[in-house]
Structures are given as C-alpha cells and as structure tokens.
Amino acid sequence: MYTVRVEFTVPPGNIIQFEEAAARMGTAERAQRGIQGFSVWNSVGSPTKYAFLVRAESREALNKMRRTDAFRIAASAVTAVANLSRPPEVYEVVFDTGNAGGPFLRLTEWNVIGGPEGAAAFEARSRQMAELHQKAITGWIGTRVRRSLAAPNRYLTMRYGSTLEAAQPVKDPPAIQDFRRSNPPDKYTSQVSADTFESVFAIGPRGRRVTR
C-alpha cells in the first residue's frame, strides 16, 4: 500500500476553480483500478495551502493512473489555477491504527537519525503513541505512519480527529504529555514540519464524493 502526498498554494481568487478541478482530478484517479482513495485538505493556519492524499494498492496502479488522458486533463486544470508548492512524494505503509478520514488531520514530517536502529526506535515509539491516542483522546479517529520512498530516513505521521483539538498535540491529556516527556522523539529524530488540515472532500468507494 502506498500514499502520495502533494501540496498546492492557491491564490484566494482561484479557490472555487481549484476545488472544482481537484474534484475532477479525484474522480479521474478513483476510476483507475488500484487507487483506493483520494482526499483534499485545507490548512487550518494557512487557508491558501492545500494537500492532496492518494491511497494506492501499488506503484503500478499509480503509474497507470498518471498515463490516463482523464488524469492528465484534470491535473492540468488543477495546475492552471494553483502553484505546486510540494511535488508528489510516495510513501510506503509502516502501520495503521484506527481509521483514516475525518474532519481534521495533523501531518507531521520527521527526519530520523541513527540508521536502522533509529528508525526501529521511532517506529516503536510511534506505535506506543498511537495506542495512547486511541485510549486517551476523545475524538481520535486514527493514526497512520508512512516512510518516504525518496528518502528512507524521512517519515510522515498522520493523526485524524473528529475535532480540531483531537487532531493536534496542544491539548493532549496528561498521560500522553507524560509519555512525550519520558520518551522525547529528538533522541533519534527531528521534526521537519507540521500542519493541521481540515477536510474539503474525499472521493470514496465507487467514486462517491464525501464532503465534510
């Protein structure tokens, strides 16, 4: 299983055209066998920033999708009204806990140091943190951890919540704050970036558009 992440900056006057073009692009992608999901997210703190997340069964499915006329036309419509701020990057699955989707999403990118040992320690800590989220956070929906195929030491964590507070670490309960203090991630990683997004829409099963 793979996840593709792409980000755009959209001029304020192009928001409606961009979201309409994004919906056409998502429909074109979901029509391709092996593409399991397409979602569009808008940054809570930077309203002109958008992120696309695509879930695919294989790299072959992604390659076939990119070669279709429907995708190329839809992608051209998107880039005609928006600036590509982060080129597509493919990630492989490390683990999933809970469910994907929901109104809010926290994306955090990490650089892991220490080679394979550091990566193993980061993944183990991430699993423990996800288990704590599941037990202690009201409104937590799911956690996804992904590893970049472009740079194996780079990871992406995805925290889904039914509320803004559930998706962000700012108001985490004491149990999670205690765990974070006793298991600081900076022993083997550095946080590169973090942002919280609100769902615009997702293209679900059979191409059905779900707007939250």
What is the C-alpha to C-alpha distance for residues 120 and 117, in angstroms, rounded to an integer?
Answer: 5
Percent pLDDT > 90 in the chain is: 72
Mean pLDDT calculated for residue range 109-121: 93
Domain 2-91+199-204 and domain 93-197, same fold? Reply is: yes
Residues 6+ apart with CB under 8 A from 67: none
Question: Rounded mean pLDDT of the chain?
Answer: 91
Whether residue 49 has pLDDT greater than 80: yes
pTM: 0.91
CATH number of 2-91+199-204: 3.30.70.100
Whether residue 72 has pLDDT greater than 80: yes
Q: In degrees, to the nearest 5, what angle opens at C-alpha 91 toward C-alphas 90 and 96?
A: 145
Q: List C-alpha distances in Å: 110 to 113, 121, 143, 152.
A: 10, 13, 15, 11
pLDDT at 40: 96
Residue in this structure with the two tokens 């006057």, named with its chain if needed? 13
204 falls in which pLDDT band (50, 70, 90)?
low
pLDDT at 187: 84
Q: What are phi and psi of 30, to 5 degrees?
A: -70, -20
pLDDT at 66: 86
Q: Which H or E run contains 10? A: none
pLDDT at 208: 46
Whether the CA torsion 133, 135, 136, 137 is positive or negative: it is positive
pLDDT at 28: 87
CB 83 within 8 A of CB 63: no
Q: Render 167-208 in DSSP notation, one character per residue.
A: HSSTT--HHHHHHHHHS-GGGTEEEEEEEEEEEEEEE-GGG-
pLDDT at 207: 45
Whether residue 203 has pLDDT greater than 90: no
CATH number of 93-197: 3.30.70.100
More confident residue, 200 or 189: 200
The residues spanned by each domain of the chain are 2-91+199-204, 93-197
What is the C-alpha to C-alpha distance for residues 119 and 10, in angstroms, rounded to an integer?
Answer: 35
Whether residue 212 has pLDDT greater than 70: no
Mean pLDDT calculated for residue range 27-53: 92
Whether residue 205 has pLDDT greater than 70: no
